[in-house]
Copies of this chain bind each other. A is one copy, B any other.
Amino acid sequence: MLSEALEHARSNRQTYLNQLFDFLRIPSISTLAEHVPDMRRAAEWLATDMRRVGMKSVEILPTDGHPVVYGEWLDAGSEAPTVLVYGHYDVQPVDPLDLWDSPPFEPEVRDGKLYARGASDDKGQLFTHVKAVESILASGGKLPINVKMFFEGEEEIGSQHLTPFVLANTDRLAADSTVISDGQVISADQPSITYGLRGMAYMEIKVRGPKRDLHSGSYGGSIHNPAQVVGEIIASLHDKNGHILIPGFYDKVRSISDEERELLNQVPDGLENWQKETGLKEPWGEPDFSLIERVSSRPTCEVNGIWGGFQGKGMKTIIPAEAGAKISMRLVADQDPFEIADLFTEHVKRVASDSVEVEVSRLSTDWPAFTPIDSQEMQAASRAYEAVWGVAPVFTRTGGTIPIVAVLQKELNAPTAFIGFGLDDNIHAPNENFVVDHFYKGIETIIHYYYDLAR
């Protein structure tokens, strides 16, 4: 039962930490060809531990890239909910190596932090689920819910082969909800739960005018300059407050409820950190929305790049034959990235001059992900954090995009709970670390979460 499982987890902390050390010693760097054998070793190590703790049907499943490790425990009965745990066993490269204070694949605890590549992202965090299952099964014999685990090896290189894998395995992966432990809490004293991730429509515009660069003295004033048209298109996308002017853009945006807004604005507003990271004084953007709402809960439209004509030192007096821009829109529930891409394309074609040729391409379309705060999963996660951390978590949204989350939500028709335990852990950088106490608290939080879902 719950208390026995928690007790087991507590009395086996050092053992679990030592196991994590072993897992972290395997340099499973997915992007480097010389580490392909290590990727395989890491998958096998994980599968072995999953089998040892009692997971069943554990398999290493091939993809067109690095394999997926899958395992399940489905003996809670058909009345009990089924949870799909997603994580990744691959890690980022380690260079520059000389900036590490201890070797990245020789885990070491200093000042309460476990230093190693993958400690937080994501080996240490996914391992909390394996250890939660071990604690429950070893202390009582039966999980309160059905659990499926599914760990990929290509998250750090874009999860290219994961969507086809999910599409080919929807029955195997079918669940009532998914859970991902690959994120952060706000601080050691303030846990937080992400309930929304933005989607994306990434567009590229090419404007073609004259068949070659022309002398601006001889042709200036008689041609709609493609670089000027790019400027006109960009300027047509926002009003001066940052509100997006593409007709229909906001139509499907799920409005932020007063309650959600209140919860969201309980999150420390991050202005100080924003100022530190940007070097700017004042946030810009939609005046009716707070900083945290602008960067997490509102859809955006950002110019990622512009080009055209002469970019070197000094002067060249030309009208460029072609100019272009890359523009990506972050989307929130319930915007449809394909529809937004179409609205964007129509808008651009409408505002662009007839005298040039405008090509608009869709480079990427990712669905936003959203799990209502009042859903059973969110409420269970909230109670689990509060039980272990002693303080109720705040609810937050993340501005970024994790494409696979939306794929899982959409294909499995299941909500996602983000139950992360990281902090400012130098992920993707030298001296990646994971607060040891967060590892322990993480295991207990997951145990609570599993039991709560069964209520």
* Complex-state Cα separation, A131 to B54, whole angstroms: 105
* 17 CB < 8 A contacts A-B: A198-B217, A214-B277, A214-B278, A217-B398, A217-B400, A219-B274, A219-B277, A221-B285, A222-B283, A222-B294, A231-B231, A231-B232, A231-B234, A234-B235, A304-B316, A307-B307, A307-B308
With a CB–CB cut-off of 8 A, which chain B residues contact A235? 228, 231-232, 234-236
For residue A56, CB closer than 8 A to chain B, the reply is no
CB neighbours of A233 from chain B (8 A): 231
Q: Does A7 contact B (CB under 8 A)?
A: no
Contacting chain B: which of A64-72, A320-328, A433-441? Answer: A320-328
Number of copies: 2
Of residues 307 through 351 on chain A, the ones whose CB sits less than 8 Å from some CB of chain B are: 307-311, 314-320, 323, 325-326, 328, 330
Residues of B within 8 A of A314 (CB): 363
A258 CB to nearest chain B CB (Å): 21
Q: Contacting chain B: which of A111-119, A171-179, A181-189, A295-303?
A: A295-303
A364 touches which one: B219, B224, B280, B315 (CB < 8 A)? B315
Chain B residue contacts of A284, Cβ below 8 A: 222-224, 353, 355
Q: Does A216 belong to the interface (CB within 8 Å)?
A: yes
In angstroms, Cα B55 to Cα A250, docked, is 79
Residues from chain B with a CB closer than 8 A to the CB of A209 are 278, 280
A238 within 8 A of B: yes
Residues on the B chain within 8 Å of A224, using CB: 242, 284
Given A216-B328, A220-B330, A309-B326; 15 other pairs, CB 8 A cutoff: A209-B280, A210-B278, A212-B279, A217-B401, A220-B302, A221-B298, A222-B284, A222-B291, A228-B235, A228-B238, A232-B234, A284-B353, A303-B308, A305-B308, A311-B326
Nearest-neighbour CB distance to chain B for A284, whole angstroms, equals 4
Judged by DSSP, the binding face of A is mixed
- Asked if A227 lies at the interface with its beta carbon under 8 angstroms from chain B, I say yes
Q: A237-279: contact bitstring with B at CB < 8 Å (1 yes, 0 no)?
A: 1100010000000000000000000000000000000100111
Size of A's binding interface in residues, CB under 8 A: 76
Q: Is the CB of B310 within 8 A of A326?
A: yes
Chain B residue, CB-CB nearest to A215: B400
Cα distance A285–B228 in the bound complex, in angstroms: 13
Contact of A231 among B285, B286, B303, B330 (CB under 8 A): B303
Q: Which of A180-217 contact B (CB under 8 A)?
A: 198, 200, 202, 209-212, 214-217
Residues of B within 8 Å of A298, CB to CB, are: 221
* Contact (Cβ within 8 A) B211 A399: no
Query: A282 contacts the other chain (Cβ, under 8 Å)?
Result: yes
Assess the B228–A234 pair: CB atoms within 8 A. yes
Task: Give the distance in Å from the alpha carbon of A232 to the alpha carbon of B235 in the complex.
Answer: 5
Shortest distance in angstroms between A139's beta carbon and chain B's nearest beta carbon?
A: 41
CA of A284 to CA of B222 in the docked complex: distance in angstroms?
5
Which of B212, B295, B318 is in CB contact (< 8 Å) with A221?
A: B295
Cα distance A368–B300 in the bound complex, in angstroms: 45
Q: How far apart sit A216 and B363, CA to CA, in the bound complex (Å)?
A: 16
Judged by a CB distance under 8 angstroms, whether A26 is at the interface is: no
* Contact partners of A320 in chain B: CB under 8 A: 303-305
Given contacts A231-B231, A238-B228, is CB(A309)–CB(B304) below 8 Å?
yes
Is A218 on the interface with B (CB-CB < 8 A)?
yes
- Collect the chain B residues with CB atoms within 8 Å of residue A234's CB: 227-228, 230-232, 234-235
Please tell me if A388 contacts chain B, counting CB pairs below 8 Å: no
The answer, yes or no, to whether A53 is at the interface (CB within 8 Å) is no
Bound form: Cα–Cα A331–B342 in Å: 41
